[in-house]
Amino acid sequence: MMIRILIITFFSISTIGFSQSKLIFTYDSAGNQVKKVYCKTGNCEVLLKSANAKSVIEKVQSEKEIIEYKEFNNSISIFPNPTKGLLNLRWDSQYNDLISEIVVIDTASKVYSLNFVSDDSMIKLDLSYWPNGLYLVKFLFNDGNLITKKIIKK
């Protein structure tokens, strides 16, 4: 019985110690990894050295925010793409509170704001009268971040 208690205690302590740790990677402008930092807490400050040797303190986003945007990006489905007319934008409804606006931008930089109701997780867009070409759909978030997806109108 005593051995069971010791084993349970050992595993409990070891999981508590590693539950909030993470690795943080920093990259240069070319996309090469320049630094790897082991962070024991969920929110870390990383000291970065710029090319001209000035020190910059960059606040790293919490792991939860990073994961939320990656998961939201993966939950977006745009179909059919390319399209000749009707286009469907669909995403997981758990992210509705994060979205402030959804816009479509054409190659001439004209911005079309889509009617987005926070209860909906799907928009049907009729592009049949729009000129053929490439369009960008931008999901703008309350905190200023955005995710961009490309659509093609044939």
- pLDDT tier, 33 (very low <50, low <70, confident <90, very high otherwise): confident
- pLDDT tier, 145 (very low <50, low <70, confident <90, very high otherwise): confident
Residue 116 CB neighbour total at 10 angstroms = 17
Asked if 87 and 127 touch (Cβ cutoff 8 Å), the reply is yes
What is the rounded average pLDDT of the residues 90-115? 88
* Top-confidence residue, 98 or 125: 125
> Which residues of the chain are in CATH 2.60.40.3080 domains?
65-153
100 contact partners, CB below 8 Å, separation of at least 6 = 140, 141, 142
Share of the chain above pLDDT 70, in %: 64
pTM for this prediction: 0.57
Give the tokens for residue 26. Answer: 């920093």
Q: Which runs of consecutive H residues, i.e. helices, occur in the chain?
A: 2-18, 63-75
- For residue 133, which of 111, 152, 149 has the smallest C-alpha distance? 152
What is the rounded average pLDDT of the residues 49-55? 42
What is the rounded average pLDDT of the residues 41-51? 49
Question: Of 29-33, 38-42, 66-70, 74-78, which gets the smallest average pLDDT?
Answer: 38-42
CA Rg value for the chain:
22
Q: Domain 65-153 - what CATH class? A: mainly beta
What is the rounded average pLDDT of the residues 117-137? 89
